[in-house]
Structure 1
Amino acid sequence: MPHEPQPQPADELDAEAVRTWSSLALAALGRAREDIDAINVYPVADADTGTNLYLTAESGDRALDAVFGTGGTGPAGVSDTTAPPSLPEAVRAYAHGALIGARGNSGTILAQLLRGVADVLGTEPEGRGPAGLLAQALTRAAEEAYRAVAHPVEGTMLTVATAAARAGEAALTTAGTAAEVARAAYDGARAALAQTPGQLAALGRAGVVDAGGCGLVAVLGALWQALSGQEPGQEPVRGRAVPVPRTPEPCAEEQGGPAYEVIYLLEATEAAVTALRARLDGLGDSLVVVGGDGLWNVHVHVDDPGAAVEAGVVAGRPYRIRITHFGDERRRGRGERAQRAVVAVVPGEGLAGLCAEAGATTVLTRPGEEPTAAALADAIARAHAREVVLLPGGPDGRAAAGAAAEQARADGVRVAVIPTRSAVQALAALAVHDPEGSFDEDVVAMTAAAGATRYAELAVAESRSFTSAGICQAGDVLGLIDGDVAVIGAALPETAEAVLERMLGSGGELVTLVLGPEVPDALAEHLEAYVQHGHLAVDTVTYRGGRYSPPLLIGVE
């Protein structure tokens, strides 16, 4: 059962107050989500700020519910058989959940703001009452958020957070309760939000306030309501918890900037992250690195997503990697959903970049890893389209794809899952994707292209085992055709030749080769010559699969 918010007495600043704040903030962001998306023009007009803030808050809320015993054991180590958590346990869980689930630039900053609050309220400090502690927490939150952003810009969410903190501290001269400090911070944030169009040219041209700041106002309004029991007053937009100005007109100047958004969680030391910041700052913009204590959330906009991920590998262990291509989002009407998008699951960074260049939103998997329904649902949300074609990549991802599709349909998104069994089938489907045609015709054409592509994978056996082609030994090269072991060889070139010969025996017009990270270019040249020698009418294309991809993928259309 979802937690029912229970506003606290005026000076209660405890775990239940944090829980109520979280629930109210999530509800407020849910109500304002579409309106905030609609005014998202900075730093990228991709109409997803409201969605990103909501998903970040939702992740924090789930973690908080966990430490209260409604969803298992949370990061603070409190299980469902123990007493309710303390204030430090609750606020640390809230911040941790937001960190691991942070989405986009705005969500990443919100996660750092919550971490700043947790740095104060999560240590059981002495010497200040609830009002003083809350004011101190809001100040720390704004300071840490500024430090997390590589190049802070005024007129943004950071400006609103700072104004809220200053108003909260100023209120201490007259305020006696935490609720009064929260009200002052909320009012200060609203006043600062109204000034953002005059501080940032992109906002002024579009006639909107900052979208991230708009979401922060909703979160601070929820804080005041949680502590006081009073609902924020009626706002200019009926039925919305935050003030949203008129629907923006397209800017006169088209926004430029990097083509990709890269986000990942990173396990690394603080020293390594310092070097990572410098490296990523040279690669792109909108750099935000938040977290601490060995776990970080990295967000950056770049033209070379592979280099951004590789920088994370140098720094530590990146995971939950998400790469999004902005594509035509910069050029479409502000807040307007794309008509159609493609979401593709791929086993390699190079393939992810290739699919992203084709306009797809990608989900990157590692060897032996299956995509989760949550990851696919998140990718569908990031695609921000009315219609979505989902390419699960392999048979192991079909169940998760089905669950994610059902979730998206419940939100009003039309989703079709094409039963791809290999990344090369996904590439074939993307090659015929027609976003301008009808949805049904597009799905039929993509399904036909995927189904007409035979697929193979070459892998190295890890141990002696029985296969459909006989007994293999550890170190043997296995050639799997349409999912079954068809060839066992001693070396990659000879095994690949045998696989190609079998696949081309029944005809073909195009061979696609996807090389793994350790495979030399000479192998592609060798196989291209082999195909041309025996099958003059067959063309060959070669791609680099990148890190995490198998040694060799083959497609025959």
Structure 2
Amino acid sequence: MANKSVSGSLFKKMVTNGAINLKNNHKEIDHLNVFPVPDGDTGTNMQMTMMAGIKEVNNLESQSIIDISKILSRGLLMGARGNSGVILSQFFRGVYSEIAKIDNGSATVQEFIQALVGGYQMAYRAVMDPVEGTILTVVRESAEKVLREQPNLNSVEEVLHMYLDQAKETLIKTPELLPVLKEAGVVDSGGAGFIKIIEGWMMALNGQMLSEAEAQPVQQNVEHYHGAENLGSVDIKYGYCTEFIVKLHNPEKFTEDFMKNPLMQMGDSLVVVTDDDLLKVHVHTNQPGVALTLAQKYGDLQTIKIENMRLQHSTIMNTEGHKEVKKTEKPKAKFGIIAVASGEGIHEAFKELGVDMIIDGGQTMNPSTEAFVKAVEEMNADYIIILPNNKNIILSAEQTLDLCPDRSIRVLKTKSIAQGYSSMMAFDPTQELDQNIEDMTDIVSNMRSAEITYAVRDTEINGVKIKNGDFIGITKGEILVSTSTRIETAQKLLDDMIDEDREIITIFHGVDATEEEILAVVEHAKKLNPDIEVDLINGKQEIYSFIIAVE
């Protein structure tokens, strides 16, 4: 029997089902947003946003559609992650703004259509520079379609069926609206994620309630995801996706322009929204610290999330933790060293050089500021030195300087495992802090480091043509070479790194490097400099076949 209205209980089932459907399929959405090294987080960000809202809904006893949509909106705002997550939260905020106007316990077909319209309108208003060919276009054209056809729609099922059909139709044409999508041959990932939510709504209307399951593997050649397998990379002007929530000191005197105007000068993808005494900001910028400092003028920071959009894989962004190297109680030491590292063998190598605590993380698992603060709090030492070992982790590590003002902390800006390892070669526990920092910095400045990983898309970056499945050599944060074999890639990297003045090469080999490949790399290093000392370490790291340090 067709539904002539949406009650609170039905709305709760719909949004819950939509969130679960997205969660169960988020890997497919992640697949649409991939850089040549393993990456992708649109689906992850959207599903985490939705599940944060659903968590609040499930804690609500009221069955009022107004109460449910209100608490959902608030929960989504608090849990919004990434640009797509913030836009999604604003869509549901717009839905609530219209549902709040109804004067009975259920939304009629006409009121439900207006709620969908309110959703897209609020989403557009929240984004400073709306871009067509994104989730925004999908929600707008779908709502406009059912609004035009409103006189002919007599049930919620008819509304959603038409809404979903239009969403899929719009998604297919997103490459025609956004040049970067057309160039890559893909559809918009945010729009694809939104469709998963609406498909969940339809299932709920048909009595098909879902349960959370393992995320489904990526499906290729699905009709309305055509071209997803060809996704390449795009240059990103502003590298840090910066999000935070502020509890305002004087919400009645605050206007969104206080944040919008300065942030527009230092980034893009800006979203600034307020909800009572809360301020939510999303911006892509190269100066996240400046943005946070600005926010503190108006209130207290409640949550902070900073990511490098090109590199971080958010499916594991909440997998953070640290391993104490020394588990027995010790008297207070002069120095305590914290390092970020991934790979059992790399952990052991750092321990052998004197690292006291390891935070498990790295390229695809950027630990949060909270993880660093916890590590600092557990460190019993006069002076603490932190080795981030990844350029995307430095900022999180530096937040401890403000969050732990009673501790003496130095962050050595190591950008790779190789740099962190080499810096420890210069550490001397008998020296004073400043001398150690100077010596460790000097060795980092003079050494050369590189990594080898694999490509998952055909593309071209910095003049280097990259094919899916090829191996890529990265140095100084840039892709220097790409070939079809690890050995050739490593050899070309070493050609750029080794000369007659270099004395030591340390090679961390990962889980997928073969004995033949390891020996070939060593042989080539010796060929370039017969006198160079080779130190082989079984790092057991996952992402990089080889991590190389040359001193």
TM-score interval w.r.t. the shorter chain?
0.5 to 0.7
Consecutive unaligned residues in structure 1, runs of 5 or more: 1-7, 69-83, 330-336, 338-378, 392-415, 455-479, 485-498, 501-511, 525-531, 543-557
- C-alpha separation in 2, matches of 1:154 and 1:481: 49
Equivalence for 1:11 = 4
Q: String of CA shifts for 1:125-176, please: whole Å, max 9, x gaps.
A: 4799611101111111111100111111000000001011101212211011
| Mapped pair 1:429 → 2:339 | yes
Equivalence for 1:59 = 52
- C-alpha separation in 2, matches of 1:481 and 1:267: 29
CA contact (8 A) 1:15 1:90 kept: yes
Equivalence for 2:299 = 316
Shift of 1:9: 5.0
Q: How does 1:41-80 map to 2 (within 5 A)?
A: 46-68=39-61
Equivalence for 1:245 = 226
Distance of aligned partners of 1:156 and 1:98 in 2 relative to their CA distance in 1, 3 Å threshold: same
CA contact (8 A) 2:46 2:85 kept: yes
- C-alpha separation in 2, matches of 1:262 and 1:104: 8
Equivalence for 1:40 = 33
Equivalence for 1:440 = 344
Distance of aligned partners of 1:128 and 1:20 in 2 relative to their CA distance in 1, 3 Å threshold: closer
CA contact (8 A) 1:428 1:450 kept: no
Distance of aligned partners of 1:164 and 1:515 in 2 relative to their CA distance in 1, 3 Å threshold: closer
* Counterpart residue identity of residue 25, structure 1: G
| Mapped pair 1:225 → 2:203 | yes
**CA-based RMSD:** 4.2
CA contact (8 A) 1:272 1:316 kept: no
| Mapped pair 1:91 → 2:69 | yes
Helix, strand or coil at the partner of 2:129: coil
- C-alpha separation in 1, matches of 2:433 and 2:111: 75
Shift of 1:483: 3.3
| Mapped pair 1:483 → 2:461 | no
Distance of aligned partners of 1:11 and 1:321 in 2 relative to their CA distance in 1, 3 Å threshold: same
* Counterpart residue identity of residue 221, structure 1: E
Shift of 1:428: 4.2
| Mapped pair 1:259 → 2:239 | yes
Q: String of CA shifts for 1:66-119, please: whole Å, max 9, x gaps.
A: 003xxxxxxxxxxxxxxx421111111111111111111111111110111111
Q: How does 1:308-387 map to 2 (within 5 A)?
A: 308-326=291-309, 328=311, 381-382=316-317
Equivalence for 1:539 = 435
Consecutive unaligned residues in structure 2, runs of 5 or more: 211-217, 359-376, 384-397, 411-427, 439-551
Equivalence for 2:266 = 283
Q: How does 1:75-474 map to 2 (within 5 A)?
A: 84-125=62-103, 130-229=108-207, 243-249=224-230, 251=232, 254-268=234-248, 269=251, 271-326=254-309, 328=311, 381-382=316-317, 390-391=321-322, 428-430=338-340, 433=341, 439-449=343-353, 451-452=355-356
Distance of aligned partners of 1:187 and 1:538 in 2 relative to their CA distance in 1, 3 Å threshold: closer
Shift of 1:256: 2.5
Helix, strand or coil at the partner of 1:272: coil
| Mapped pair 1:24 → 2:2 | no
- C-alpha separation in 1, matches of 2:378 and 2:14: 54
- C-alpha separation in 1, matches of 2:240 and 2:336: 20
- C-alpha separation in 2, matches of 1:147 and 1:41: 28
- C-alpha separation in 1, matches of 2:6 and 2:162: 16
Equivalence for 2:516 = none
- C-alpha separation in 1, matches of 2:59 and 2:26: 25
Helix, strand or coil at the partner of 1:257: coil
CA contact (8 A) 1:32 1:241 kept: no
- C-alpha separation in 1, matches of 2:284 and 2:231: 22
Equivalence for 1:360 = none
Helix, strand or coil at the partner of 2:283: strand
Shift of 1:250: 5.0
CA contact (8 A) 1:428 1:453 kept: yes
CA contact (8 A) 1:273 1:315 kept: no
Shift of 1:259: 2.2
- C-alpha separation in 2, matches of 1:538 and 1:324: 30
Number of residue equivalences = 371
Distance of aligned partners of 1:425 and 1:101 in 2 relative to their CA distance in 1, 3 Å threshold: farther
- C-alpha separation in 2, matches of 1:303 and 1:481: 31
Q: How does 1:504-543 map to 2 (within 5 A)?
A: 539-541=435-437
Helix, strand or coil at the partner of 1:298: strand
* Counterpart residue identity of residue 381, structure 1: I
Shift of 1:238: 6.2
Helix, strand or coil at the partner of 2:230: coil
* Counterpart residue identity of residue 12, structure 2: R
CA contact (8 A) 1:21 1:223 kept: yes
Identity of aligned residues (%): 26
Shift of 1:294: 2.3
* Counterpart residue identity of residue 292, structure 2: V
- C-alpha separation in 2, matches of 1:124 and 1:97: 21
- C-alpha separation in 1, matches of 2:266 and 2:38: 20
Shift of 1:481: 11
- C-alpha separation in 1, matches of 2:432 and 2:199: 69
Helix, strand or coil at the partner of 1:266: strand
* Counterpart residue identity of residue 260, structure 1: Y
* Counterpart residue identity of residue 99, structure 1: L
- C-alpha separation in 2, matches of 1:313 and 1:226: 43
Distance of aligned partners of 1:228 and 1:303 in 2 relative to their CA distance in 1, 3 Å threshold: same
- C-alpha separation in 2, matches of 1:326 and 1:97: 24
- C-alpha separation in 1, matches of 2:98 and 2:130: 23
